[in-house]
Chains A and B, each alone.
Chain A
Amino acid sequence: MTGAGNDRLNRSGAFRSVRTALLLPSWLVIGVFLLVPVFLMLVFSFLTKEFRGGVIWEFSLAAYDQFIFDRGLFGDEPPTIEWTYITIFCRSILQAAVATVLCLILGFPTAYFIATRDSRHRMVWLFLVTVPYWVNLLIRTVSMKFLIRDNGPLNELLLALGAISQPLTLINTDFAVQLGLFYSYLPFMVLPVYASVERYDFSLSEAAADLYAGRWTILRRVVFPVVRPGIVAGCILVFIPSLGAFLAPDLLGGAKNFMIGSLIEEQFKGNAGNWPFGAAVAMILLSMVLIALMIHARQQSRTEVG
Chain B
Amino acid sequence: MIRMENVHKAFGNNRVLQGMTLEVPRGTSTVIIGGSGTGKSVALKCVLGLIRPDSGKIYVDGKDAADTGDRDAFLARFGMLFQGGALFDSLPVWQNVAFRLLRGSLKRPVDEARAIAIEKLRRVGLKPDVADRLPAELSGGMQKRVGLARAIAAEPEIIFFDEPTTGLDPIMAGVINELIREIVTEMGATAMTITHDMTSVRAIADNVAMLHGGVIQWTGPVAQMDDSGDPYLDQFIHGRAEGPIEAVR
Instruction: Please say whether chains A and B are actual partners in one complex.
Output: no
Residues of B participating in the A interface, judged by any CB pair closer than 8 Å:
none
Residues of A participating in the B interface, judged by any CB pair closer than 8 Å:
none
